[in-house]
Amino acid sequence: MEKVRVVISGFGNVGRGVVASLKRNTDMELAGILSRNPARVKKEVSDVPVMDVNDSDAWLAALKPDVVILCGGSKNDLPEWGPKMAKLVNTVDSFDNHSQVPEYFKAINEAANSSGHVSVISTGWDPGIFSLERVLANAFIPGARAYGFYGLGEKGGLSMGHSDALRTIKGVKDARQYTHAIPEAIDEIRDGKNPAFQPGDMHTRECFVVAEDGADKDEIVKAIKEMPGYFAPYKTNVTFVSQQELDTKYAGFPHDGLAIAAGTTGDNNSARVEYRCVWGSNPEATANVLVAHARAVARLAKEGKKGAMTILDIPPSYFSTLDREELLKHWI
Amino acid sequence: MEKVRVVISGFGNVGRGVVASLKRNTDMELAGILSRNPARVKKEVSDVPVMDVNDSDAWLAALKPDVVILCGGSKNDLPEWGPKMAKLVNTVDSFDNHSQVPEYFKAINEAANSSGHVSVISTGWDPGIFSLERVLANAFIPGARAYGFYGLGEKGGLSMGHSDALRTIKGVKDARQYTHAIPEAIDEIRDGKNPAFQPGDMHTRECFVVAEDGADKDEIVKAIKEMPGYFAPYKTNVTFVSQQELDTKYAGFPHDGLAIAAGTTGDNNSARVEYRCVWGSNPEATANVLVAHARAVARLAKEGKKGAMTILDIPPSYFSTLDREELLKHWI
């Protein structure tokens, strides 16, 4: 069987995760990497072609991708590059700016439909697996609200987006933000109370900040706690640490989450479902889910499908390497 | 919008659960109930037509079902009635005899394809949701084994199939069987050991038995512990109780389960996913999942799809009442 030719566009933590994931998915192969700065990537990668993402005629001809996994950021990269790429190739991305998903879907759908490609947007573990679990929970327990919690373990979960937000504050040299779930909030849901939570009822935020020399620490704390959306709605704790402490005690990208819903069935019998995931590396977990979606995209494209899709639009067997016979025999 | 007309075939605990579930799914309506013994069902149900399942010309004309939910047993009812029904109407069932799924799928697929109907087989929470979660876990964490555990709570989970098996033993008047997960086995998986378990490594079985007057209790215990498949592979505990004790202390149909898989991503970072469900009523939970699949079947049939399917073949959005716009806006 011919392997699915996967190309990575954008080489950060998720892109590195995709490289690693493809080594464990032997029905696929890494055909090359695209970057705005190929020279930088070439320092790290020597066994596959690294090409300039802007030179699409060249990389389309040389790499012949079945699917391109877009590993750029949701804030600036994907809104620009998502639709551009969907005009050229089949794509998968992890666009995670929840409030802008409808608009992004529309732009990608137009591009993919006009060019006859398949583009799966907004997948990973959240959005992605958690989106799926929330929708299933709501379908199987009608009336149950579905909630997402993050950082249930002792150390909490590292939020890349919130860490980036901290680094934009004047006087902040470096920073990492850990999200903590509020256990009492989870208990309320498990008790079947189906509560209408505000964001601040579910999570607290813990910030480890390296201040620049001479920076006004009180001003930094104030700027963090008042930052709308990111920190203002939450109980937020700020601790100043040295760069060395940040690099050693708060290394890595651990994250974890819980999608949960509870309600009743029939004659008021309790019903509860919980999807829990614990990842040693958040970007690698996202990469693994992206790669499984790349497999699905290659199949859907072969069937002549086109347009934008989410995880909700794909039959789950498309993610699997196992054929129907094997699935029916051992997995149902 | 016109409501999906659902007919129930077979009126036991799951059938009753479907009646209750349809009341909470307002896009569907109960059009009628089919039984081999309509007189018995009519004693309990007065607000919808109850008809003889053998009189298919009559009920097809009178009830005009979009979907029939088959609530018969997997041992005798479904192998006979599943293919028969798939020739007449779109169907959903919870066939749960795992080893015979391939054969059953083939029979239903032939019937449904020849008549142009859609038939979803083997759905509920296991098989069904758990099948889906196992396949997703294996796709997202390649190489990770996916396990199913049942009865994690203190009381364990009531197994209908094993209770029925106990009642076939000479001298047993009534009985209920509770399955208990072995916590140490779950710990091994969480520790990332990816163990190759035998069934007896994962669960123990607890039997509450009402003996007939004068029955040989030692013989009953021996017959239970030696029953192949059901009890022989497990550590099994048998307690004799009075009928009154059974009816009061061991009433209801509670059940719960855990689908779990753990492995690594990228550079050996741990990765673990767990799907947990806790049901006050096992048959009502199964019914709720069947009803969501009936919604999907009605849609798939409208699109001109045909043949047998499992939960793995259906885009998850088809289970939901929410339209694409709402899903993109609030659920991704």
| Predicted confidence (pLDDT) at residue B267 exceeds the cutoff of 80 | yes
* Chain B positions in Cβ-Cβ contact with residue A142 (cut-off 8 Å): 21, 24-25, 288, 321
Q: Which residue type sits at B229?
A: G
Rounded Cα gap, residues B316 and B301, in angstroms: 16
- pLDDT given for residue A20 in this prediction: 97
Identify the H or E element spanning B14.
Answer: helix B13-24
Sequence-ordered list of residues with C-beta below 8 angstroms from that of A61, at least 6 positions apart, any chain: none
Tell me the pLDDT tens digit for each residue of B23-76.
999 999 999 999 999 999 999 999 999 999 999 999 999 999 999 999 998 888
Residue B178: φ, ψ to 5°: -105, 130
Rounded Cα gap, residues A42 and A46, in angstroms: 6
Q: What is the rounded average pLDDT of the residues B92-97?
A: 94
* Chain B positions in Cβ-Cβ contact with residue A78 (cut-off 8 Å): none
- pLDDT given for residue A294 in this prediction: 98
CB-based burial label for A134 (10 Å; 0-12, 13-18, 19+)? buried
- pLDDT given for residue A69 in this prediction: 98
Does the beta-carbon distance from A21 to B265 stay under 8 Å? yes
Three-class secondary structure of residue B123 per DSSP: coil
Tell me the pLDDT tens digit for each residue of B148-170.
999 999 889 999 889 989 999 99
Number of residues in chain A? 332
* Closest alpha carbon to B216 in B175, B169, B177: B169
For residue B57, give how far its alpha carbon lies from the nearest alpha carbon of chain A (Å): 31
How high is the mean pLDDT of chain B?
A: 96
- pLDDT given for residue B101 in this prediction: 96
- pLDDT given for residue A229 in this prediction: 87
Does the beta-carbon distance from B132 to A279 stay under 8 Å? no
Does the beta-carbon distance from B279 to A287 stay under 8 Å? no
Q: Map out the domains of chain B with their CATH numbers.
A: 4-126+283-331 (3.40.50.720), 156-253 (3.30.360.10)
- pLDDT given for residue A75 in this prediction: 83
Tell me the pLDDT tens digit for each residue of A183-206.
999 999 999 999 999 989 999 999
Among candidates B20, B310, B317 on the partner chain, residue whose Cβ is nearest the Cβ of A312: B317
Does the beta-carbon distance from A328 to B285 stay under 8 Å? no
Q: Residue A210 has which token pair?
A: 């390296």
- Exposure of A320 in the CB half-sphere (CA atoms within 13 A): 22
Does the beta-carbon distance from A277 to B279 stay under 8 Å? no
Q: Residue A85 has which token pair?
A: 């790429």
| Predicted confidence (pLDDT) at residue A1 exceeds the cutoff of 80 | no
Does the beta-carbon distance from B102 to A329 stay under 8 Å? yes
Rounded Cα gap, residues B108 and B94, in angstroms: 13
* Closest alpha carbon to B261 in B309, B314, B197, B332: B197
User: Bridge partners of A211?
Assistant: A172
Tell me the pLDDT tens digit for each residue of A260-298.
999 999 989 999 999 999 999 999 999 999 999 999 999
Rounded Cα gap, residues A76 and A164, in angstroms: 13
Does the beta-carbon distance from B273 to A274 stay under 8 Å? no
Q: What is the DSSP letter of A128?
A: B
* Chain B positions in Cβ-Cβ contact with residue A278 (cut-off 8 Å): 270-272
A67 CB neighbour count, 10 Å cutoff: 27
State the ipTM, two decimals: 0.95
Mutate to test the interface with A, among B265, B282, B326 (most CBs of A within 10 A): B265
- How many separate helices (H) and strands (E) can be counted in chain A? 13, 14
- pLDDT given for residue A10 in this prediction: 97
* Chain A positions in Cβ-Cβ contact with residue B16 (cut-off 8 Å): 266
pTM over 0.90: yes
* Residue carrying structure tokens 């029953």: B227
For residue B241, give how far its alpha carbon lies from the nearest alpha carbon of chain A (Å): 26
Q: Residue A236 has which token pair?
A: 């937020």
- pLDDT given for residue B201 in this prediction: 97
* Closest alpha carbon to A86 in A283, A319, A309: A309
Does the beta-carbon distance from B139 to A312 stay under 8 Å? no
Q: What is the rounded average pLDDT of the residues B230-248?
A: 97
Rounded Cα gap, residues A193 and A278, in angstroms: 26
Tell me the pLDDT tens digit for each residue of A224-245.
999 998 999 999 999 999 999 9
Does the beta-carbon distance from B280 to A274 stay under 8 Å? no
Chain A residue closest in CA terms to B132? A316
* Chain B positions in Cβ-Cβ contact with residue A122 (cut-off 8 Å): 332
Among candidates A139, A310, A325 on the partner chain, residue whose Cβ is nearest the Cβ of B332: A310
Rounded Cα gap, residues B68 and B128, in angstroms: 18
Rounded Cα gap, residues A87 and A118, in angstroms: 10
* Closest alpha carbon to A259 in B328, B135, B275: B275
Question: Are B71 and B98 contacting, i.e. CB atoms less than 8 angstroms apart?
Answer: no
Does the beta-carbon distance from A322 to B272 stay under 8 Å? no
- pLDDT given for residue B97 in this prediction: 87
- pLDDT given for residue A74 in this prediction: 87
How high is the mean pLDDT of chain A?
A: 96
Taking the alpha carbons at both ends of chain A, their separation in whole angstroms is 25
| Predicted confidence (pLDDT) at residue B186 exceeds the cutoff of 90 | yes
* C-alpha Rg value of chain A to the nearest Å: 21
Rounded Cα gap, residues B10 and B37, in angstroms: 9
| Predicted confidence (pLDDT) at residue B1 exceeds the cutoff of 80 | no
* Chain B positions in Cβ-Cβ contact with residue A266 (cut-off 8 Å): 16-17, 20-21, 281, 284, 287
For residue B123, give how far its alpha carbon lies from the nearest alpha carbon of chain A (Å): 9
| Predicted confidence (pLDDT) at residue A102 exceeds the cutoff of 90 | yes
Rounded Cα gap, residues A119 and A86, in angstroms: 6
| Band (A59; pLDDT cuts 50, 70, 90) | very high
Among candidates A24, A129, A143 on the partner chain, residue whose Cβ is nearest the Cβ of B24: A143
Does the beta-carbon distance from B328 to A313 stay under 8 Å? no
Question: Are B157 and B254 contacting, i.e. CB atoms less than 8 angstroms apart?
Answer: yes
Mutate to test the interface with A, among B284, B328, B329, B330 (most CBs of A within 10 A): B328
Does the beta-carbon distance from A140 to B288 stay under 8 Å? yes
Question: Are A233 and A227 contacting, i.e. CB atoms less than 8 angstroms apart?
Answer: no
- pLDDT given for residue A81 in this prediction: 96
Chain B residue closest in CA terms to A147? B331
Among candidates A138, A278, A317 on the partner chain, residue whose Cβ is nearest the Cβ of B312: A317
E strands of chain B, at which residues?
Answer: 4-9, 28-35, 50-52, 67-70, 91-93, 118-120, 146-150, 157-159, 172-181, 203-211, 235-240, 255-265, 269-279, 307-309
For residue B133, give how far its alpha carbon lies from the nearest alpha carbon of chain A (Å): 9
Rounded Cα gap, residues B159 and B149, in angstroms: 12
E strands of B241-283, at which residues?
Answer: 255-265, 269-279
| Band (B290; pLDDT cuts 50, 70, 90) | very high
* Residue carrying structure tokens 């970057």: A35
Q: What is the rounded average pLDDT of the residues A77-91?
A: 97
Q: Residue B181 has which token pair?
A: 């997960």
Among candidates B269, B273, B327 on the partner chain, residue whose Cβ is nearest the Cβ of A281: B269
Angle between helices B77-86 and B101-115 in degrees, nearest 10? 20
Q: What is the rounded average pLDDT of the residues A134-155?
A: 95
CB-based burial label for A289 (10 Å; 0-12, 13-18, 19+)? buried
